[in-house]
Amino acid sequence: MSQTSHGIGGLSYDARKRPWPAEFNVFLALVILVGAFELIGRVFLGDSFLFNTRENVSGLFNEQRLQIIILQVSIVGIIAIGVTQVIICGGIDLSSGSIVGATAMIAMSFAQVATVNGNPNPKAMFINFGWTDLPVIVPLLVAIGCGLIAGLINGFLIAYTRIPPFIATLGMMVTARGIAKWWSKGQPISFPTESFAAIGKGLMPVVIFISLAILFQLILTYTKYGKHCYAIGSNEDAARMSGIKIANHKVLVYAIAGILAAIAAVVLSSKNLTAQAGMGVMYELDAIAMAVIGGVSLSGGRGSIIGTVIGSLIFGVIISGFTFLRLDAYYQEMVKGVIIVGAVVLDQWRQRRRAIGA
Amino acid sequence: MSDIVLKTENLTKHYGGVHALQEANFELRKGEHVAIMGDNGAGKSTFVRQITGVEQRTSGKIWFDGKEVNFTGPIEAREAGIETVFQNLALADDLDVPSNLFLGREKVLFNLGPFSILDRKAMRKATEAALVRTAVKIPNLSSTIRHMSGGQRQCVAIARTATFASKLIIMDEPTAALGVQETAQVENIIRTLKANGEPLILVSHNMRQVFDLCDRIVVFRRGKIVANLRKQDTDGNDIVAYITGAKTGQAELQAA
């Protein structure tokens, strides 16, 4: 009876033969990757990738390395959360990196101090208006507003003009980058207030990334919004026939993606204590790659935030592992490209096998 | 006349110059299972699309549940109580059975607008009850539709229809792509619906199935209803004669 307890109508069902969740495979890949770096490190360098080998530092693991791994992926990871729900919903968002750039510039100009070392801040954009030393809520709201507007434009274009998401967000990608450069005529914007700088200090990016990841994992699993994301990505016609308001939902999805990109911009510019027009270049592709590596299907309907988080860790481990092996940064990018394509090939292969096996 | 669930009067649909449906007069009574037959292009699906609001009719009137209705879309028709199993199934492949059953009308624990928290337990329970009621056999409610056979998918689609249809179920060739066993399962579900007294319109090409499951057979030919016969007054050859046009039968139409 325990074996057939899930069956309805007398058909037997063996819960133990259930397919593994896709996230498990991704996690396995992460473990194997870490193991490979550990092995290569031990054999060729006589050093450990994962464990602490220095005598002057206590602790079992190489905590410094682990911190770097997660810290360097957490900002793109925040974007990847938004991109994940866009892809699950059957879309794509190429604009997030540029939204980071534009939002960082605009938000930072509302977060500047009046005086640097007793002199008036040379970089302050709005010093003539007296808009300096503003409370931290102002740049935060400005940032979220920027992300929201960009996301809404994406969403409205996709939902109502019915142009492909690829084109709509490509347009936003170019436009937002233009805005980032135009805002200060290419000059970097620096010297934020202490309260703004606190947002991205130390391990704060990790805390923000993990909190948002948990929040959106819950939203995608337990709310109507999440269910409709999967439904639309899975079969848009069926979703429409079921009475789901597709257009509204898509606008919401892209708006949320825009807001998450804006949050990433705040964290990034706060961490770097400066905003530059070139910030976030290629972040959109890194974010998409994290999602795809994490098992989010580019054809929509499948994937999870947990998968994307593990995907982002794989990303971090690769970058950090290459540094550990003292390989040039050039190789990192080459391998990154191979891994992105590999993940998509794997996804296609999985789908085909599923279609045949089912 | 209170037992008439659906009635159409002079229902007509033109696609440009093509008269796909001409002056169709149709009635369906409570608890009645009616089959719609006819060749490809005879107007069966056109007829269904006018009733379910998928398309807008050129002229004519429709009464549903005692009121004259003008559905502007399938969602309105569904809200009024007409549930349709479409040929393309209209299921989301990557969702499990309860999610598909309740797609677009989820049960909610806390209402937070689009971010309302789903009541997954209640939906699962209601799904189990619905499957038992329609005698649908699904091994595992939590597996996605993608992992199911064509017959199981069709059963889920029908269970979904039967769960929510308060007043009328329409099935457009529900067994067209199914194997023998799967067809039998779907037919059993339809029998269960009959036993529960739920009215049904079945569009089908399958003569045996129609005689097995329905009380009355309506034949379409070239956009017109050419026959409206009770099952016991006719046989397969007779129906084929109407479908092919060998018999034109206005006389029988009045007799029935």
Tens of pLDDT, residue by residue over A242-260, are 888 999 999 999 999 999 9
B24-38: average pLDDT: 91
For residue range A281-313, what is the model confidence (pLDDT) as tens digits? 999 999 999 999 898 998 899 999 999 999 999
So what's the pLDDT on residue A242?
82
Cα–Cα distances (Å) from B150 to B89, B156, B202, in that order, read: 10, 10, 19
Question: Do residues A262 and A208 touch, judged by C-beta distance below 8 A?
Answer: no
Residues of chain A contacting residue B104, judged by C-beta atoms under 8 Å apart = 239, 242-244
Give chain B's count of helices (H) and strands (E): 9, 12
Q: Rounded mean pLDDT of chain B?
A: 85
For B4-255, which CATH class? alpha beta
Q: Do B140 and A230 touch (CB under 8 A)?
A: no
Q: Which of A11, A222, A244 sits opposite B137 (nearest CB)?
A: A11
In chain B, where are the structural domains located?
A: 4-255
The verdict on a CB contact (< 8 Å) between B90 and A237 is: yes
Query: Is A241 in contact with B137 (Cβ distance < 8 A)?
Result: no
| pLDDT attached to residue B215 | 92
Residue B49's pLDDT is what? 87
CB contact under 8 A, A9 and B137: yes
**Whether B114 and A224 lie within 8 Å, measured CB to CB:** yes
Q: Which residue of A has its CA nearest to B90?
A: A238
The residue in chain B having the minimum alpha-carbon distance to the alpha carbon of residue A21 is B143
Contacts of A237 in chain B (CB under 8 A): 88, 90
Of 1.10.10, 1.10.3470, 3.40.5, 1.20.120, which CATH number belongs to A23-50+58-357?
1.10.3470
Residue of B nearest to A357 (CA): B147
Inter-chain residue contact A241 with B74, CB threshold 8 Å: yes
In this predicted structure, what is the pLDDT of residue A15? 57
Q: Do A234 and B92 touch (CB under 8 A)?
A: yes
Q: Residue A55: what are its φ and ψ, rounded to 5°?
A: -80, -25
**Is B126 exposed, middle or buried, given 0-12, 13-18 or 19+ CB atoms closer than 10 A?**
middle
Closest CA to B160 of B57, B220, B91, B221: B91
Please tell me if residue A66 touches chain B, with a CB cutoff of 8 Å. no
Residue in A242, A246, A253, A299 to test binding to B, most B beta-carbons within 10 Å: A242
List chain B residues with CB under 8 Å of A12.
Answer: 139
Confidence of residue A3 (pLDDT cuts 50, 70, 90): very low
> Which residues are within 8 A (CB) of B212 and not within 5 positions of it... i.e. 6 or more apart?
B187
Angle between helices A137-160 and A96-108 (to 10 degrees): 150
Distances (CA, A) of A20 to A24, A84, A299, B19, B178: 7, 21, 20, 54, 29
Q: What angle do CA B97, B146, A234 make, to 5 degrees?
A: 85
pLDDT band at A2 (very low <50, low <70, confident <90, very high): very low
CB contacts of B149 in chain A (<8 Å) are 358
| pLDDT at residue B175 is higher than 90 | no
Q: Look up residue A332 and give its amino acid.
A: Q
- pLDDT reported for residue B244: 87
Percent of all residues in chain A with a pLDDT value above 70, rounded to a whole number: 93
| A24–B contact, CB cutoff 8 A | no
DSSP secondary structure letter of residue B116: P
Encode pLDDT of A96-138 as tens digits: 999 999 999 999 999 988 888 777 777 777 877 777 888 899 9
Distance separating alpha carbons of residues A149 and A306, to the nearest angstrom: 28
Count Cβ atoms within 10 A of the Cβ of residue B108 and give its class: 0-12 exposed, 13-18 middle, 19 or more buried: middle
Question: Quick one: tokens of A318?
Answer: 């690769």
> Which residues in chain B have their CB less than 8 angstroms from residue A18's CB?
140, 143
Determine contact, residues A221/A215, Cβ cutoff 8 Å.
no
Q: Which of B89, B104, B112 sits opposite A244 (nearest CB)?
A: B104
Check if the beta carbon of residue B13 is closer than 8 Å to that of residue B58.
yes
According to DSSP, residue A114 is labeled: S
Specify the pLDDT at position A1.
35
Are B187 and B122 spatial neighbours (Cβ–Cβ below 8 Å)?
Answer: no
Residue A82 tokens, joined: 């938004």
Rounded-to-integer distance, Cα A276 and Cα B233, Å: 84
Separation CA A265–CA A73 (nearest Å): 14
| B106 vs A11, A12, A227: nearest CB | A227
Distances (CA, A) of A262 to A102, A104, A144, A256: 9, 8, 6, 10
Taking CA–CA distances from B93, the nearest residue in chain A reads: A234
Q: A135-167: b or e for each residue (b if 16 or more CB lie within 10 Å)?
A: ebeebbebbbebbeebbbbbbbbbbeeeeebee
B148 inside 8 A of chain A by CB: yes
pLDDT band at A223 (very low <50, low <70, confident <90, very high): very high
Query: Is the Cβ–Cβ distance between B116 and A223 less than 8 Å?
Result: yes
Confidence class of residue A79 from pLDDT cuts 50, 70 and 90? very high
Cβ-Cβ contacts under 8 Å, B89 against chain A: 238
Which among B87, B89, B102, B115 is the top mutation candidate for probing chain A, defined by the most A β-carbons within 10 Å of its own β-carbon? B115
Given CB atoms, is A356 within the 8 Å cutoff of chain B? no
Query: Which of B92, B95, B128 lies at the smallest CB-CB distance from A8?
Result: B128
When mean pLDDT is compared over A81-85, B69-73, B219-223, the highest value belongs to A81-85
**How much is the pLDDT for A345?**
86
**Mean pLDDT (chain A, rounded):** 87
CB contact under 8 A, B91 and A235: yes
pLDDT value for A80: 97
Q: Looking at the partner chain, which of B104, B114, B117 has a beta carbon nearest the beta carbon of A222?
A: B117
Q: Phi and psi dihedrals of A189, rounded to 5?
A: -115, 125
Question: CB–CB of A96/A307 below 8 Å?
Answer: no
Residues of chain B with pLDDT > 90, as a percent, come to: 20
Q: What is the mean pLDDT of residues B224-228?
A: 90
For residue B39, give the nearest of B224, B243, B227 by alpha carbon: B243
Which tens digit of pLDDT belongs to each residue from A163-193? 999 999 999 999 999 999 999 898 999 889 9
What pLDDT does B256 receive? 45
pLDDT band at B154 (very low <50, low <70, confident <90, very high): confident
Nearest to A257 by CA among A73, A3, A85, A6: A85
Residues of A in contact with B93 (CB under 8 A): 234-235, 301
Nearest to B143 by CA among A132, A11, A131: A11
Residues of B in contact with A7 (CB under 8 A): 139-140
| B99 to A231: CB separation less than 8 angstroms, yes or no | yes
pLDDT band at B89 (very low <50, low <70, confident <90, very high): low
Instruction: Give the three-state DSSP class for A96.
Output: helix
A291-295, B8-12, B175-179: range with lowest mean pLDDT: B175-179
Are the Cβ atoms of A301 and B94 closer than 8 angstroms?
yes
ipTM of the complex: 0.77
Whether residues B146 and A18 touch (CB distance < 8 A) is answered with no
**What is the H or E stretch that residue A44 is in?**
none
